[in-house]
């Protein structure tokens, strides 16, 4: 029987709505045969409800619950927010706990049932990954207005040059941790949809990707199609 991927989606005040609803839409799309989605969504937050500034959400799990069962989740989706929001959030107590959870997730080997574990940032959510110290030595991306901030945070955590290369791409497969966790960064906002569709294709195959894209009526852009990259 095909495995189900447990997807933990983190919510926090001020988070950009499409950063997390885009991936959720992709992962919750049912297959062509009408069976249940191969991805089970679990939202979680420090607070309940969560006010993003435009909409209010009721997460399905507490932060503590996911923290205690972290090894049960195959995906961790980390959305971004306006840089001003993250400047305040990262040094806060909740921010520190979030960064700790991200760092711990990056050390957990994939579950035997699925064989995969993915840490997926969307937009400026990559700044939280940088603050967790797991982007050092990697090629990464984020929202185009946050390139400098991503490098700055990674260097601060490393205590010097983190050797992070920030590139203008739609998404970046930043490689694996030593424990086998794949790190994937989406660019700004809607890039999270493209990235999630790419992950569906990688994990479930081209047919599943094409079906999901068709149902969503969304045409995926390529990995190299970062915002502001001119076409020939």
Residues designated catalytic: 123
- Preceding omega of 180 cis (within 30 degrees of 0): no
CA separation for the pair 136, 177 (Å, rounded):
11
- 182-141-184 Cα angle (round to 5): 15
153 backbone dihedrals φ, ψ, rounded to 5° = -65, -40
Using alpha carbons, select from 45, 13, 4, 10 the residue that is nearest to residue 24: 10
Q: Which residues of 219-229 are buried (b: 16+ CB within 10 A; e: fewer)?
A: ebbebebbbee
Q: Which residue shows structure tokens 């921010």?
A: 95
Query: Following DSSP, what letter does each residue of 2-46 receive, concatenated?
Result: ---EEEEEE--TTB-HHHHHHHHHHHTPPPTT-PPPSEEEEEEES
Rg for the chain (alpha carbons), in Å? 16
């Amino acid at each position: 029987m095909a495995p189900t991927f447990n997807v933990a989606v983190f919510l926090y005040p001020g988070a950009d709505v499409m950063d997390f609803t885009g991936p959720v839409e992709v992962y919750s799309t049912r297959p062509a045969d009408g069976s249940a989605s191969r991805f089970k969504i679990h939202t979680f937050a420090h607070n309940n409800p969560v006010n993003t500034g435009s909409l209010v959400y009721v997460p399905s799990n507490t932060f503590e619950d996911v923290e205690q069962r972290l090894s049960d989740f195959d995906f961790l989706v980390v959305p971004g927010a306006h840089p001003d929001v993250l400047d305040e959030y990262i040094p806060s107590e909740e921010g520190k706990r979030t960064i700790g959870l991200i760092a711990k997730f990056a050390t957990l080997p994939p579950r035997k049932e699925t064989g995969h574990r993915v840490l997926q940032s969307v937009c400026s959510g990559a700044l939280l990954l940088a603050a967790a110290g797991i982007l050092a030595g990697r090629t990464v991306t984020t929202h185009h207005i946050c390139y400098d901030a991503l490098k700055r945070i990674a260097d601060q955590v490393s205590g010097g040059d983190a050797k992070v290369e920030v590139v203008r791409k739609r998404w970046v497969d930043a490689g694996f941790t030593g424990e086998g966790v794949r790190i994937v960064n989406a660019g700004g906002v809607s890039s999270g949809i493209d990235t999630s569709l790419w992950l569906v294709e990688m994990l479930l195959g081209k047919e599943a990707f094409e079906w999901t894209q068709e149902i969503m009526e969304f045409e995926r852009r390529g990995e190299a199609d970062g915002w502001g990259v001119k076409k020939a």
